[in-house]
Structure 1
């Protein structure tokens, strides 16, 4: 349907006015104590959020921009929300950074620091922040997605759209989510951007962020059961700190992920400044998360020297994101996690280490032998949030793990199933079922020779699990009836098994 000029004008004035209010008139609420409000994960004070955007470190601040609807708790009016932190844990939400304008929504993208003013958009002899994002809107020719830029001279507080946008337009309805970084070796900007329906990540280069030259395509490859979105190309060092590391290309898949709905795969290989080539070593294709609830994770740009790359994702799933039982917000982020490469006799794998230790407070040591359904009394009645770090002695052909009970009828089960070579998290009995497909058991393949260790971060509405030296990550939302937990260890064959480790109570990030 064609809108009249007057109708478009009225709509534009209304959207701009509402965006101005959202940007300048909204204050951060003090209430972060709702029943399912995460206490160690970022969520906006109100309204809808999905993908993280423009993660960057600049002048002592970590910036988290995010897909945001300033006007409600459902997807729409996509703009960039904004929060800052000194440690990637304690976030201060700021006004909307880049609002929807004239019916063009601001989709996912990245932010770079233009250190040498290659763009000409910074002040003379100065550096500035430049955002590269997908603009999505209707044109007389139909829906169109294009790549655009904006710049900030005040550390990301206000943004100016480039007056010659878009900078990249293929006249396509689906062409999105640019990931941009500076390639110091080639002295050029590199963009990875998705052609979702074709299952292709396309690479471009630019000297100035304004003019882009096509370099190469990667794909189709790996899993192609859904749209490819949210690509991210980054270099990951070896965990031993000595070898040269590897290039990782991470790609979102929606729908059609192995666990159902949306998920993310990665490819490991090499990048020569023009083309990404997947390695032929075992483990060169995997999943950044084997749970239901980690999507469009991207890495921080411009981290301080000698820091490993850090990945952060949206903790939800497009299957049911609009039905989550939270208010006045809907959507949250995962914990940030540092990446490194594991090379062992079984092949390659990404290792992920959650950044959470700064929130630890009191702790309880755990060291016990247990058989079938043997409880360990000193970790009863724990109140979320908390962290468990455990090492299991596992019998071959058995199932060992733990159940996190919120009452006698509701629990989340986490375990190692050596008979089927699977690590799993089962939320079938965890509490409120958001929809018919929500109660589920998610699995990841166990790799022989890697340890049976487990790191769990339990928040009010989520369980983040890391196993086998961080080479398995599994994130799942849960909606239990109580925040008081008791923890029971189990062993399927009844034989005695040792478990040792520690439980830490975690401080809330909202207690300032």
Structure 2
């Protein structure tokens, strides 16, 4: 869980506070128009996601409490119930039967006069090890970070891990009477983001959490989710990103190359502001965990730049990623916040700010002699795409030009599959959300000289709301038999590119005009072949309307 003043961490602490106060005033002023919207005014609805979860109103960031329970996926998240800016951190809540269609629920836990509710996780306490549920029940247990205020009994700003429980399937939450259940000695202002899972070989609960400014993941164990014993620390030698933060850790096993007898452990560490694309990003390490210590393999040498590390996403807008607890069939499912702390408070959306990326399934495969994560949109999304009619183009050759595709490929919410063979072209790719003039659009292209895939949003639409809104994001990616397969997910304000069967992903926000709905392909300085093009439009509603798959559940928010 990040808060905005951390972008000033290189300044003395008292200056950080002054800057944060100034920023809050500025952001609040910017948010004022959205707070005065009339009942019939939908704000910037042309940029409200159709495929990605957004709250109806107000600020949202990190996903929290990801859990599957009784046929529903629960997404909790950092939320401000009181405005379209960061502050009053509480837990919002949404549910879905399929990770595609989301229902917004009442706020789960509110900030109050003595604490704010920062990031955390939820587990199903199957055998009621906590004793917090009725006999023979399986309560939901949330471990979250309390950020204490004056009058709490802790120094203002102290962060410690607290517990809440639900005995009605996550509808209402009760805070444990003896919170916090875990704190440091001396207490810290940067001890946060508990992620809890069941460690089956040892028969105990495992927690990863961070001391964010020290770049340390701390691991603990518990038999009852209440009393925690320290196991070990994970960090790196010669941290190349001093002055940044480590956040939202996650540790879980995956079979290597589909072999359940050969499991490796994956450690997710979200880092800000040192990501591969600038600002916020999610890196990972693969290694072994013996029940006490995580030992990574193939760690980048001391002093390496970001390109030598492994990333969940090479775009600018994928952060705070975590996995769902209790997922069906043991599949590793992840979701991330689709934004970046470099400009999250400035994106031009009202009356909400923030969205979640498309949920993804993770797998671990040997690539270039190393175990690496691969990423795919969840099967429920793939099924949705298969059910819709599509425009199909078997082959299309292009020589040193751009070619608009058939009008049937126009769309603002769509899935695009394409195989690119660059051949003699220096660059070859496609343009999505293009304008009628051809001057605007998001370009996705392969460069044969550098062997890189690039997403270029420099002419994607509205870009001048922040000088930190970076324009190009690149990943090294060799061709396979001279070809590159892409799956591109286009939404009203985002593009996600899954390349080479999920070997790499680029996720970026865009803010185009509703009329910019054209698709074309292009080749620079030579010939390129585009084959097996399948364009599936996924929204039948008119531009600027709220997606039909979204609805809010009305009713009073649950009590704190």
TM-score, L = length of structure 2: 0.82
Distance 1:165 1:131, change over 3 A: same
Contact 1:339 1:351 in 2 (8 A): yes
* CA offsets 1:268-309 (integer angstroms, 9 cap, x no match): 11111111111238999400011010110110000122x421
Q: Deviation above 6 Å: which 4+ runs of structure 1?
A: 28-33, 281-284
For 1:242-391, list aligned pairs within 5 A.
244-280=262-298, 285-305=309-329, 307-355=330-378, 356-360=381-385, 361-367=388-394, 368-378=396-406, 382-391=410-419
Contact 1:428 1:441 in 2 (8 A): yes
Aligned to 1:176: 192
Q: Helix, strand or coil: the match of 1:244?
A: strand
Contact 1:366 1:502 in 2 (8 A): yes
Contact 1:69 1:79 in 2 (8 A): yes
Counterpart Cα distance in 2 of 1:243 and 1:365: 41
* CA offsets 1:241-262 (integer angstroms, 9 cap, x no match): 5662421111111112232211
Contact 2:206 2:222 in 1 (8 A): yes
Contact 2:46 2:513 in 1 (8 A): no
In the TM superposition, residue 101 of structure 1 has moved relative to its aligned partner by 2.1
1:156 and 2:170 aligned: yes
Contact 1:81 1:97 in 2 (8 A): yes
Question: Unaligned 5+ residue runs, structure 1?
Answer: 1-27
Segment drifting more, 251-260 vs 105-114: 251-260
1:406 and 2:435 aligned: yes
Aligned to 2:235: 219
Aligned to 1:188: 204
* CA offsets 1:449-480 (integer angstroms, 9 cap, x no match): 58611110000000011112201111000001
* CA offsets 1:202-255 (integer angstroms, 9 cap, x no match): 111111111111111111267535100011111223354566242111111111
Distance 1:242 1:389, change over 3 A: farther
Aligned to 1:18: none
TM-score, L = length of structure 1: 0.89
Aligned to 2:450: 420
Aligned Cα root-mean-square deviation (Å): 2.3
Contact 1:429 1:439 in 2 (8 A): no
Of structures 1 and 2, the one scoring higher in RCO (CA 8 A, sep 6+) is 2
Q: Helix, strand or coil: the match of 1:169?
A: coil
Segment drifting more, 377-386 vs 432-441: 377-386
Which of 77, 86, 101 is equivalent to 2:97?
86
Contact 2:43 2:349 in 1 (8 A): no
Counterpart Cα distance in 1 of 2:299 and 2:156: 44
In the TM superposition, residue 267 of structure 1 has moved relative to its aligned partner by 0.5
Contact 1:60 1:86 in 2 (8 A): yes
For 1:95-244, list aligned pairs within 5 A.
95-139=106-150, 141-170=155-184, 171-220=187-236, 224-225=241-242, 226-240=244-258, 244=262
Counterpart Cα distance in 1 of 2:548 and 2:198: 32
Segment drifting more, 360-369 vs 43-52: 360-369
Contact 2:66 2:323 in 1 (8 A): yes
Aligned to 1:41: 52
Contact 1:238 1:343 in 2 (8 A): yes
Question: Unaligned 5+ residue runs, structure 2?
Answer: 1-38, 301-306, 540-546, 552-560
Which of 453, 462, 477 is equivalent to 1:432?
462
Q: Helix, strand or coil: the match of 2:501?
A: coil
Contact 1:254 1:261 in 2 (8 A): yes
Contact 2:428 2:528 in 1 (8 A): no
Q: Helix, strand or coil: the match of 1:229?
A: strand
In the TM superposition, residue 97 of structure 1 has moved relative to its aligned partner by 0.4
* CA offsets 1:371-408 (integer angstroms, 9 cap, x no match): 22241532566121100011111337722111121343
Tell me the number of residue pairs that the alignment of Structure 1 and Structure 2 aligns: 484
In the TM superposition, residue 490 of structure 1 has moved relative to its aligned partner by 1.5
Contact 1:421 1:445 in 2 (8 A): yes
Q: Helix, strand or coil: the match of 1:410?
A: coil
Contact 1:269 1:284 in 2 (8 A): no
Which of 501, 508, 511 is equivalent to 1:476?
508
Distance 1:33 1:364, change over 3 A: farther
Contact 1:234 1:248 in 2 (8 A): yes
Segment drifting more, 219-228 vs 89-98: 219-228
Counterpart Cα distance in 2 of 1:205 and 1:430: 47
Segment drifting more, 502-511 vs 167-176: 502-511
